[in-house]
Amino acid sequence: MIKKGFTEDPLLTKVQFIKGVGPRLSSVFAARSIGTVRDLLYFFPRKYEDRSKLSLIKDLTEGCTASLELTVHQAYLRPLRGKFSKLLEVKAKDQELQWMSLKWFRMFKGFETKFIPGNKIIATGQVKIFGSIREMVHPDIQFDLTEDLHVGRVIPVYTEIDGVPTKTLRKIIDTALSLAGNEIKEELPPSLLQKHGLPQLAKAIREVHFPNENYNFEEFKSPAQQRLIYEEFFKFEYHVLSQRMRLEKEKGHTLKQKALEESFQHWLKKLPFTLTAGQQQSMDDIMGDFIKPHPMNRLLQGDVGAGKTAVALLSALSIMDQGFQSAIMAPTEILADQHYQNVLKIFGSTIPVKLLVGKTSTVERRSIQALLDSDSPALIIGTHALIEDPVKFRNLGLVIIDEQHRFGVDQRRKLREKSVIQPHTLIMTATPIPRTLALTAYGDLAVSIIRERPPGRTPIKTHLVRLHEYEKMIIFIKKNLSEGRQAYFIFPLVNDSEEEGFTHLKSAVTAAETLANDTFPEFKIGLLHGQLSSSEKAAIMDRFRRNEVQILVSTTVVEVGVDVPNATVMVIEHPERFGLSQLHQLRGRIGRGQHASTCFLKTDRPAGQPTPERLEVMVETEDGFKIAEADLELRGPGEFLGTRQSGALPFKMASLVRDQDWLIKARADVEHLLESDPELKTADNAPFKKYLENAGKREASHFKTS
């Protein structure tokens, strides 16, 4: 069963020593992070096919998927166009002598010789009907009817692995279960399995690969799947909440409550507005963290335009008054410059505030470093330039990371490591985070939420515009511009593209010329995109803020933080190319002043064609929290976490959308465990302690959070 090279623990045996694998396939498995028998058994099916019942040809309908027991009548190859192209067609009949045609346009050499007239086969595939002819194209064929791994049962279907046919993978996993199935030890506290009515791990692993047909595995509701879903959430939450406990034991900058409160009130009076209830509560949360002996690690979230930046700036200035340095890291120079200008405008130029971005001159960089070296209090606002090696903080008290999904875990860590003593950390999100993500990807953070928008912000009306409504939209925009307002036109591309799938898309550069020459010749138009230099982008934004430019044609570079209260209209071209949260973030660039605002989602789809679901959501609601939940359901967590963190959630079975109830149960159980038995001394927690000492150490590296 197993070759030389086995280990004392069969689960830790390398896959290459399983019968049927060997060095070649093991290298293929390694590319999918499958190195041991345990890894292989945790490579779960992506779906299931019910092959427990055989159908008759007479009962088949168009488009159905069926398994048929057939007798081969004839197999022949037919040449197709092209030098090497051939069609294999097999004629076969069932027990009632009804005929079925099986066809292959691609096959391995000699495949046709397997179809011997008179032999029985089982064919599984989608049925096509042409008059009296029934056929299947590229069906799955079982030649050995005595082998029950692939027929007569509900069978697992796995994500394709290059070079490993589905049947081969199924057989290898069956061999692995025979080898190590009895060695699978329980890893969770038995009391929790009993509490939730969940099976032992060994039984769950076996059944998830080779299901009991009495359960609906397609809906992930079987006890085996539910157990593995709960296990993934439980292990993840344990690592997340344990990390939170460790952070709470680290030494931080402890500040005096009275001095903090005096500083906060001093800066609060300088604001030209009153804080909302949500902003005040968030400030209370942050001030409460500042006086604790360990560093703050807090997530500040709220809808677009909810006033998160004001809370961040008040926190930074209050810390600065206590003699510390603060750093705000923004993802773009445009946003960093906007924060910098807001500080000067609202709080005055006497504050020691500096801007550090890519375009900052060498002379200015030296001046900023000298300020940081002097141990003097200061507020430094910048981009990723803040984490470059030459930059050092002597007395960093607070790190604020704006639009966090634009930065990777390593980048955020580098900024925190700029200080000898762990600084307080405040992370801000562009749009609301769904609850399940807050409990997982940000589960180690305390959370503050600003739910309401500041008074004076006007509602935004959103309309879906089709081709025949374009002229009506232009008339509306001209009226607004004539009244002194401004508008954005957003495009997914900078330049026209010849790439497949993009040729029909309008680009910002082409559109800017058309809008300036043909549509809006009487108004000034600016063009903004990521390929411009920092100084060019800054100059265009400055002209737009001063209303020297009435229409800003842009790519998504304006998505983050741009604040021009006089802009009341936004047109988003090809909105189908954007995710919901991105559309909502773009829309949030308007509705920031006292005038009514309108967002047009302009699609090239003709009247009568169905509207994509996410565009309907945009038209129906302005509520960022509802939009976040809808976006999670439609697009998954990557939209919120960003590409650098897309692999941060290592769930193979669990779904943040489908399995929210299990996530909440698992987190509650972990919280109770850490409170009642943090050192895992009880007999009930012994299996989980053993897991942590063994496999848990290897898996911990997968649990990346904030």
The reported pTM is 0.80
Alpha helices in 360-463 (DSSP H): 362-373, 409-416, 435-439
Residue owning tokens 């807001």: 342
Domain 460-621, CATH homologous superfamily name and number: P-loop containing nucleotide triphosphate hydrolases (3.40.50.300)
Q: Find, among 508, 460, 468, 503, the residue nearest to 627 by Cα.
A: 460
8 Å CB contact between 170 and 154? no
Pairing mode of beta strands 597-602, 567-573: parallel
The CATH number of the domain covering residues in 1-44+156-184: 1.10.150
* CATH superfamily, domain at 257-450: P-loop containing nucleotide triphosphate hydrolases (3.40.50.300)
Tell me where in the chain the CATH 3.40.50.300 domain(s) lie. Answer: 257-450, 460-621
The tokens describing 5, both together, are 């090279």
Give the per-residue SS3 of 646-696. Answer: CCCCCCCCCCCCCCHHHHHHHHHHHHHHHHHCCCCCCCCCHHHHHHHHCHH
pLDDT at 3: 46
Is the CB of residue 573 less than 8 Å from the CB of residue 490?
yes
Q: Report residues of the chain scoring pLDDT below 70.
A: 1-8, 82-84, 213-214, 404-412, 495-506, 559-561, 607-608, 638-648, 695-706
pLDDT of residue 252: 82
* DSSP β-bridge partners for residue 462: 599
Class of domain 53-152: mainly beta
Which pLDDT does position 644 carry in this prediction? 37
Output phi, psi for 38, to 5 deg.
-60, -45
Query: What is the pLDDT, as a whole number, of residue 324?
Result: 94
Residue 546 CA to residue 552 CA, distance in Å, equals: 12
Handedness of CA 291, 292, 294, 296 (dihedral sign): negative
SS3 letters across 96-162: CCCEEEEEECCCCCCHHHHCCCCCEEEEEEEEEEECCEEEEECCEEECCCCCCCCCCCEEEECCCEC
pLDDT recorded at residue 499: 46
* CATH 1.10.150 domain position(s) in the chain: 1-44+156-184
- Condensed to tens digits (0 to 9), the pLDDT of residues 635-675 reads 777 656 654 344 457 789 998 889 999 999 999 999 999 99
Cα 97 → chain centroid: 53
Tell me the pLDDT tens digit for each residue of 596-633.
999 999 988 776 677 788 899 999 999 988 998 888 88
